[in-house]
């Protein structure tokens, strides 16, 4: 019965589902694990960065991306779809800055990205984006931060800690045990690395994970040397 509705984006199945969105969520679930954690003085996102071959230049692509000076994102799912959303998100942020002469609040940016993703679930000739995003950024007060998850359906939620990708269940279980309301950013980075280690295949190095942080100074992706120092501190 499901196959009758599998190729129609705008037709609901008898169970009330848009099957193409279910398939998009499967693409997310097969992607590398990504996670985010809020802290009292910032937020962190982290992800596995697996290359198809050791011959690939790992500096030629990134999974943790800057959206604005005060916001960044990471994804799980299809990389090409991420590039489209990244370009759209940056364009939306630039339009806001040109109008108001200030960086777009993270919640407003998330709402606009989610709107783009939702529109791709109800139009003919397109398909849903095969990615979920974790977005972190500064709130309007310039001090506190937000962490949001956006799914292929266009739904979004604010989280204290979240995980997406193939090891999502184990990562969430680990985060539920380790997270607390008084977590500081440095501890959040350590927790993020430990969470990734839970389902990591092989040896974790500064070249096969990426970490991004946001605090009152803005968003940035950690340099490989910084990631190496964190890994050494955890191993000590």
Q: Give phi and psi for 120, each to the nearest 5.
A: -80, 0
1 in a structural domain: no
Sheet with strand 65-68: strands edge to edge: 65-68, 71-77, 131-138, 145-150, 156-158
Cα–Cα separations (whole angstroms), residue 234 to 38, 82, 191, 193, 203: 20, 31, 10, 9, 14
Q: In total, how many domains does the chain have? A: 1
- pLDDT tens string 126-149: 899 999 999 999 999 988 999 999
2 in a structural domain: no
- The C-alpha atoms of residue 80 and residue 55 are separated, in whole angstroms, by 20
Whether residue 114 has pLDDT greater than 80: yes
11 in a structural domain: no
The range of the structural domain enclosing residue 149 comes to: 17-235
Q: Which residue has the higher pLDDT, 138 or 9?
A: 138
Helices (H), the chain: 19-29, 79-100, 106-119, 168-178, 185-197, 224-235
- pLDDT tens string 38-68: 999 999 999 998 877 777 777 778 999 999 9
Whether residue 88 has pLDDT greater than 50: yes
Q: Which helix (H) or strand (E) holds 221?
A: strand 218-221
95 in a structural domain: yes
pTM above 0.85, yes or no: yes
What is the pLDDT at residue 125? 81
- Look at residues 217, 195, 214 and name the one whose alpha carbon lies nearest to residue 73: 214
Whether residue 5 has pLDDT greater than 90: no
Q: Give phi and psi for 34, each to the nearest 5.
A: -130, 155
Q: Which residue has the higher pLDDT, 58 or 103?
A: 103
Mean pLDDT in the chain?
Answer: 92
100 in a structural domain: yes
Q: What percent of the chain has pLDDT over 90?
A: 76
- The first and second tokens of residue 163, run together, are 């995980």
- Look at residues 171, 162, 172, 128 and name the one whose alpha carbon lies nearest to residue 26: 128
- The first and second tokens of residue 131, run together, are 């990615």
State the average pLDDT over residues 19-29: 90
Residue 190 sits in a domain whose CATH number is: 3.60.20.10
The DSSP bridge pattern shows strands 42-48 and 34-39 to be antiparallel
- The C-alpha atoms of residue 199 and residue 104 are separated, in whole angstroms, by 35
């Amino acid at each position: 019965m499901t196959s009758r509705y599998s190729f129609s984006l705008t037709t609901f199945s008898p169970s009330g589902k848009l099957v193409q969105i279910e398939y998009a969520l499967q693409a997310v679930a097969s992607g590398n694990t990504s996670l985010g954690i809020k802290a009292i003085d910032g937020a962190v996102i982290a992800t596995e960065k697996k290359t198809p071959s050791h011959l690939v230049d790992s500096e030629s692509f990134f999974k943790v991306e800057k959206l604005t000076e005060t916001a960044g994102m990471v994804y799980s799912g299809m990389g090409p779809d991420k590039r489209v959303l990244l370009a759209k998100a940056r364009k939306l942020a630039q339009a806001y800055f040109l109008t108001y002469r200030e960086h777009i609040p993270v919640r407003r940016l998330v709402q606009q990205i989610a709107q783009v993703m939702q529109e791709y679930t109800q139009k003919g000739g397109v398909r849903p984006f095969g990615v979920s995003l974790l977005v972190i950024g500064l709130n309007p007060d310039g001090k506190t931060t937000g962490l949001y998850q956006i799914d292929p359906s266009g739904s979004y939620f604010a989280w204290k800690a979240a995980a997406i990708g193939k090891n999502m269940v184990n990562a969430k279980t680990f985060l539920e045990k380790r997270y607390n309301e008084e977590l500081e950013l440095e501890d959040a980075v350590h927790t993020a690395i430990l969470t990734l280690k839970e389902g990591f295949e092989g040896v974790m190095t500064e070249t096969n994970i990426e970490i991004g942080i946001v605090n009152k100074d803005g968003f940035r992706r950690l340099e490989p040397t910084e990631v190496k120092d964190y890994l050494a501190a955890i191993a000590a």
